[in-house]
Amino acid sequence: MPDRAEADRLADHAQIDGLADELLPALIAKLGATGLAELEVREGDWKVRLRRSADGSTAASRAASARAARPAGGHLEHAHPVATEAAVDPYRAAATSPAVGIYQPRPEISSGSRVRAGDRIGSVDVLGIPQEVVSPVDGIVGAGLVESGDAVEYGQELAWIELISSTAERAGRDA
Amino acid sequence: MFAKILIANRGEIAVRVLRACRTLGVEAVVAYSEADRESLAVQLADEAICIGPADAKRSYLSAPAVISAAIVSGCDAIHPGYGFLSEDEGFAEVVRAHGLTFIGPPPQVLERFASKEATRRLLGAEGLATIPGSNGMLRDDLHGLEEAERIGYPVLIKPSAGGGGKGMRMVRTPRELEAALKICRSEARAAFGDDSLYLEKWLEDNRHVEVQVAVDRFGHGVHLGERDCSVQRRHQKFLEEAPTPALDEAARNELAERAIRAVVAAGYENVGTLEFLVDPAGNAYFIEINCRIQVEHPVTEMLTGIDLVVTQIRIAAGEPLGFSQGDVTLRGHALEFRINAEDTAHDFRPSTGVVERYLAPGGPGVRMDSHLFTGYEVPPFYDSLLGKLVVWGPDRPTAIARSRAALDELVVDGIVTNIAIHQALLVNDTFLAGEMTTNLVDRIGSAAFLAAAAR
């Protein structure tokens, strides 16, 4: 969007930061406490949707699947990752297994694929029922940590997602 | 025999089952939740697999997680321990459907004995005296009130599923009954996912006596004597002993023989326990059967020298029992003290924290089954059992004397425990006389009980 004013961009960034820092933690707590599958909140022209994966995992442990989205034209590449695991390493986050079973990566996703937080990158087969493996952050799929068809346990790290916000975009913004 | 067993439990029983697997030379995989990553069972295991988060509904109680873990780790059998999925016939059936063996009674046997109320009628027909109770499950509150009126107050409300005192209330009036039914229903639903309730006549001063049985696939069964579990607080056992001081040797033998005859006739298979209430006149009424290994099984192991978990695994693998009633001898006296993370000074509320120092007692006849170690953090998500101190002596006074010494020796620093209530029991005249009834601690009050011992 070349015609966007610098001021607009800055205002957007400030709003997104505000949402990520203030609204998300409260929403995650709420989702965890209520047992609802999905929460959606509109604030200004931004919309935040939290979704609990089908296996019923709590939002607190799977905060990584929280995803902010703007109806049109918005970009959230630098939205703060809210997962605690992601916070440990500023450059990458691991997609973890939602269950004990057999891992199958999505064929169309490979190292170098660009993904957004909440995107399905594969599944873990539990007695024939696939459980979604989602990217915890916006980023680029990096090294796979397990092979297709491997047995994996709950919480096991399956693939790295390299954060794009932490490097190029942050540098760009700061310049 | 199995090639590899998945242990789908935690705490002391996971360690106990692991030891049985080692004894048999069978590989074992410990399935654990995220909260138990540092547990003793996981540390001791050759192989361990994380099956879910701390929430038991998504780990130890999740049939798909447990079965998937067994399959991906190459196990051919699952040991459920006690609690969690141990008596869930639906789970046992799904385990079988996946080509695995459930270590316990086969699914069709579990199903036959799933309803406590139906089991009472089944074994009643095989010659066991049963306690008066409601005809079937309570359809609603009105049905409950009518049945209670017919049986006569006081009555005990009991859930059809589960155990451990959850969803159980004794009531003396219709008003109490109405209020308690709601509480019991929600407790039972929360604990077992099944809120069906029934009523039993409440015997005021009763003893809880249970008979341990083992029956193989070929219908060959033995009893392994009885245990007395009359020391209870709010329907929760916390000290067990054998033989029961409530009955003489002839009466004990007769009860055990009637029990084994009835369950063999009713088609039971594997290890199990028949629970009876014994009234002051010595009449024993059958109340329920536990189709699992029980917390208090070591009491019987001390008397018989028979490893009950090994026996359970061997029967599930289709092996014959390998011994008969004549080979079972009951020697001496044994007591088991459940060491719980409970604050006796504050209404036994559960405690958690880090074990700063743990020292297990020793000496002749002393056995400590526990998952504790110095530095272990007791997670807040599960039951409060920290371990079981089991003490044997050639007679009851010797066993009690050894128990006092062992309890004094036991150190669990950093966690508030219930050790004080055991020490109080061992100087209580009623207990020493062997006259404990299930209602005694609650009637006197735990606080008064502890205070009396301190004098």
Contact list, B53 vs chain A (CB under 8 Å): 57-58, 61, 154-155
Report the pLDDT value the prediction gives residue B204, as an integer from 0 to 100: 84
Report yes or no on B109 lying in a domain: no
In a shared domain, residues B214 and B136: no
Report yes or no on B94 lying in a domain: yes
In a shared domain, residues B275 and B375: yes
In a shared domain, residues B170 and B218: no
State the pLDDT confidence band at A71, using cuts at 50, 70 and 90. Answer: very low
Contact list, B55 vs chain A (CB under 8 Å): 58
| More confident of the two residues B418 and A6 | B418
In a shared domain, residues B304 and B376: yes
In a mutational test of the B interface, the residue from A55, A100, A152 whose CB has the highest number of chain B CBs within 10 Å is A100
Instruction: Please tell me the total count of domains within chain B.
Output: 3
| More confident of the two residues A80 and A27 | A27
In a shared domain, residues B324 and B197: no
Averaged pLDDT for residues B11-26: 98
DSSP single-letter state for residue B171: E
Any idea what the CATH number is for the domain that residue B192 is in? 3.30.1490.20
Q: Residue B73's closest chain A neighbor by CA?
A: A151
**Residues A151/A102, Cβ–Cβ less than 8 Å:** yes
In a shared domain, residues B286 and B221: yes
DSSP single-letter state for residue B455: -
Averaged pLDDT for residues B202-229: 96
pLDDT tens-digit map of B374-405: 999 999 999 999 999 999 999 999 999 999 99
What percent of chain A is modeled with pLDDT above 90? 39
In a shared domain, residues B211 and B197: no
**Residues B244/B209, Cβ–Cβ less than 8 Å:** yes
Report yes or no on B75 lying in a domain: yes
**Residues A140/A113, Cβ–Cβ less than 8 Å:** yes
How far from chain centre, in Å, is Cα B165?
A: 11
> Are A100 and B50 inside 8 Å of each other by CB?
yes
Contact list, A129 vs chain B (CB under 8 Å): 64
Q: Residue B67's closest chain A neighbor by CA?
A: A127
In a shared domain, residues B377 and B358: yes
In a shared domain, residues B196 and B219: no
Q: List residues of A whose CB lies inside 8 A of any B CB.
A: 55-58, 61, 99-102, 126-127, 129, 151-156
Report the pLDDT value the prediction gives residue B454, as an integer from 0 to 100: 78
Contact list, A100 vs chain B (CB under 8 Å): 49-52, 65, 68-69, 72
Within the 43-72 window of chain B, which residues sit less than 8 Å (CB to CB) from chain A? 49-53, 55, 58-59, 64-65, 67-69, 71-72
Report yes or no on B120 lying in a domain: no
Residue A80: pLDDT over 50: no
pLDDT tens-digit map of B391-447: 999 999 999 999 999 999 999 999 999 999 999 999 999 999 999 999 999 998 888
Report the pLDDT value the prediction gives residue A89, as an integer from 0 to 100: 77
Report the pLDDT value the prediction gives residue A16, as an integer from 0 to 100: 65
State the pLDDT confidence band at B278, using cuts at 50, 70 and 90. Answer: very high
Query: What is the Cα–Cα distance from B430 to A133, expressed in whole angstroms?
Result: 60
Domain that holds residue B166: 132-201
Report yes or no on B110 lying in a domain: no
Report yes or no on B387 lying in a domain: yes
**Residues A61/A29, Cβ–Cβ less than 8 Å:** no
Query: What is the Cα–Cα distance from B140 to B136, expressed in whole angstroms?
Result: 12
**CB-closest option in A58, A61, A100 to B69:** A100
State the pLDDT confidence band at A17, using cuts at 50, 70 and 90. Answer: low
Residue B214: pLDDT over 60: yes
In a shared domain, residues B147 and B52: no
Report the pLDDT value the prediction gives residue B128, as an integer from 0 to 100: 96
Q: How far is B378 from chain A (nearest CA, A)?
A: 20
Report yes or no on B115 lying in a domain: no
What percent of chain B is modeled with pLDDT above 70? 100
Any idea what the CATH number is for the domain that residue B10 is in? 3.40.50.20
**CB-closest option in A61, A100, A129 to B72:** A100
Query: What is the Cα–Cα distance from B441 to B450, expressed in whole angstroms?
Result: 10
Question: Alpha carbon of B332 to those of B170, B244, B368, B394: distances in Å?
Answer: 35, 12, 18, 4
Residue B330: pLDDT over 50: yes
Averaged pLDDT for residues A22-42: 58
Per DSSP bridges, beta strands A38-43 and A46-51 are antiparallel
Contact list, A158 vs chain B (CB under 8 Å): none
**CB-closest option in A58, A126, A156 to B64:** A126
In a shared domain, residues B368 and B394: yes
Any idea what the CATH number is for the domain that residue B288 is in? 3.30.470.20
Query: What is the Cα–Cα distance from B73 to B116, expressed in whole angstroms?
Result: 35
pLDDT tens-digit map of B115-140: 888 899 999 999 999 988 898 899 99
pLDDT tens-digit map of A159-168: 999 997 555 5
State the pLDDT confidence band at A74, using cuts at 50, 70 and 90. Answer: very low
A1-25 burial code (b ≥16 CB/10 A, e <16): eeeeeeeeeeebeebbeebbeeebe
> Are A56 and B53 inside 8 Å of each other by CB?
no
Residue A94: pLDDT over 60: yes
Residue A58: pLDDT over 80: no
**Residues A124/A101, Cβ–Cβ less than 8 Å:** yes
Report yes or no on B306 lying in a domain: yes
Residue B100 forms contact with A (CB below 8 Å): no
**Domains along chain A?**
6-174 (2.40.50.100)
pLDDT tens-digit map of A111-140: 999 999 999 999 999 999 999 999 999 999
Torsion of CA B169, B170, B175, B179, to 10 degrees: 0
Report the pLDDT value the prediction gives residue A63, as an integer from 0 to 100: 33
Report the pLDDT value the prediction gives residue B117, as an integer from 0 to 100: 83
In a shared domain, residues B305 and B224: yes
Report the pLDDT value the prediction gives residue B370, as an integer from 0 to 100: 98
Residue B229: pLDDT over 70: yes
